Amino acid sequence: MPPAAEVFIKATDTDPDVRAQAVVEEAHRQLLERLAALTEPHEELTLAFAGQMHRLLTATEQTLYAAASGAAETRLLVRALRAAAVTIGRHADSLTAAADRAEHAGAARTLAGMLTVHLGMERAVLLPALAELPGADLSALVGDFATVLQGGRLEDPVVVDVREIPHGWRHPRIFTRFARLASGESFVLVNNHDPKPLRREFEATHPGCFTWEYVRSGPEQWQIRITRVNGDV
């Protein structure tokens, strides 16, 4: 029998995945609430909103999108969400640059509509998919999400050793680490076989945006330096 702390009723408030989803939903609610309060141009409040929105998008990218980007079930969804996030970021800049009340109101309405749809897709599709995705620990991902949202930094190991991780759980860990790399940064993957399927997934999800360098090639251990070479979406 698992420890008492791990006993829960699925799909209730005792379910860790339900609690994790509630954290993300609350962050979404606060963001939309702050945007709704921007009824007229106000430089300080607009900049505060833009900062909060960019932190939320960054936190989502580095945690939720990263874990889902390498799985066939969620790859296309993440690609669409990432493209939408870039567009939303540009519209937020338009709100900040609005010259008068009418322009500000129009930009705010457009942004509110885009965010409502985008965040709704995350809540209704992405989070449930992550909860069912092999290898993705939604509670841990949302814990990291909250850390980044609050301005904290995540631990980013320079070596990711997946040899003791079950096969179905390895790829989300690796893609999450890659998502946190800046251009030119790298990590070393350690595996007990040549991860050719993983390389094909990288080519599908991050084409032209990484390098793959064998540091050690078997027979019992493979080490590959994976480097981000471009800021892909």
Domain of 170, CATH number, reads 3.30.110.40
Q: Is 9 a residue whose pLDDT tops 70?
A: no
Nearest alpha-carbon partner for 208 in 186, 228, 193: 228
Torsion from C-alpha of 181, 183, 184, 190, nearest 10 degrees: 30
Q: Which tens digit of pLDDT belongs to each residue from 93-116?
A: 888 888 889 999 999 999 999 999
- The answer to whether 142 and 150 have CB atoms below 8 angstroms apart is no
Specify whether 176 is located in the same domain as 144.
no
Q: Which tens digit of pLDDT belongs to each residue from 173-231?
A: 888 888 778 889 999 999 999 999 999 988 987 889 999 999 999 899 999 999 999 75
Specify whether 171 is located in the same domain as 137.
no
Q: Is 55 a residue whose pLDDT tops 90?
A: yes
Specify whether 82 is located in the same domain as 134.
yes
232 band by pLDDT with thresholds 50, 70 and 90: low
Domain limit, last residue, from 91, 124, 149: 149
Lowest-confidence range among 138-147, 168-177, 222-231? 168-177
Question: Which of the two residues, 172 and 132, has the higher pLDDT score?
Answer: 132
Q: What are the backbone angles phi and psi of residue 214, rounded to the nearest 5°?
A: -75, 120
Q: The domain containing residue 202 runs over which residues?
A: 159-228
Question: Which of the two residues, 135 and 144, has the higher pLDDT score?
Answer: 144
Nearest alpha-carbon partner for 17 in 132, 114, 161: 132
Specify whether 130 is located in the same domain as 213.
no
